Amino acid sequence: MKEFYTSVVELRQPIKNIFLTEPYECGWANEALFFLTVHPEMADFAKIVVRPKISPDGIHWIDAPAGATSVDKPGTIAIAQSHFGGWLCLELSLAGATQSALITLHLALKG
């Protein structure tokens, strides 16, 4: 029987500039699915570049091979990861210094 676990990694977190989500240890899982929600009540941005990051130890990070995703409006998107070592997080980059957003991030793991 497969194991399944969902965690709220960030809850209604305001972001600006470059934001790195809390790292999450998930080496037991075969697949991971981020659900990123950008809330409409604080969505003063043109684009958010979302880049999955992977790590063998939770200290040293590199960009995941899958590449970046762009968000240009409020709502929820899903970002799948299947080869990630032991740790995962997301880097969110807003284009301008005055831009901001409010996010919630769930991480669903299956293994």
CATH code of the domain in which 96 resides: 2.60.120.380
Residue 69 CB contacts under 8 Å (≥ 6 apart), including other chains: 49, 50, 51, 77, 79
Query: What is the model's pTM?
Result: 0.94
As a whole number of angstroms, the distance between CA 44 and CA 34 comes to 22
Q: Give the pLDDT confidence of 78-93 residue by residue, as tens digits.
A: 999 998 889 999 999 9
- Tens-digit pLDDT profile for residues 45-74: 999 999 999 999 999 999 999 889 999 999
Cα–Cα distance, 56 to 62 (Å, whole number): 10
pLDDT value at residue 103: 98
Could you give the CA distance from residue 48 to residue 101 in angstroms, rounded to a whole number?
A: 9
- Show the domain range for 79: 4-110
Number of domains into which the chain is organized: 1
